[in-house]
Amino acid sequence: MINSKILPNSEVTITEFADESVLLHLETKTYYTLNKPGVFVWGLIKEGMPADEIVERVRKEFSVEKDVAEKNVMDLIENLIKEKLVEVVE
């Protein structure tokens, strides 16, 4: 999945606040809160960026080691997939 493109589900809307955002899946009525790094990742997902590039951008933006960025990004993406907030495009 690291080389896959991740796209937002078309049924998801986002409401942005100061340092966090809330995603709402309109069909399931599921809410999901994103912190500042999560909002950054969501923006890259909306751009259609593949997961491996998202990891690299997070690493640079937040000055973290590649393995930390990869784990955090992949954990977030897996949660977003589980909640049907994003879709994996092969």
pLDDT by residue (tens digit) across 20-43? Answer: 899 999 999 989 999 999 999 999
Output the pLDDT for position 33: 94
CA 71/CA 77 separation, integer angstroms: 10
What pTM was computed for the model?
Answer: 0.91
* Class of domain 5-89 as given by CATH: alpha beta
CA 15/CA 88 separation, integer angstroms: 22
CA 83/CA 28 separation, integer angstroms: 9
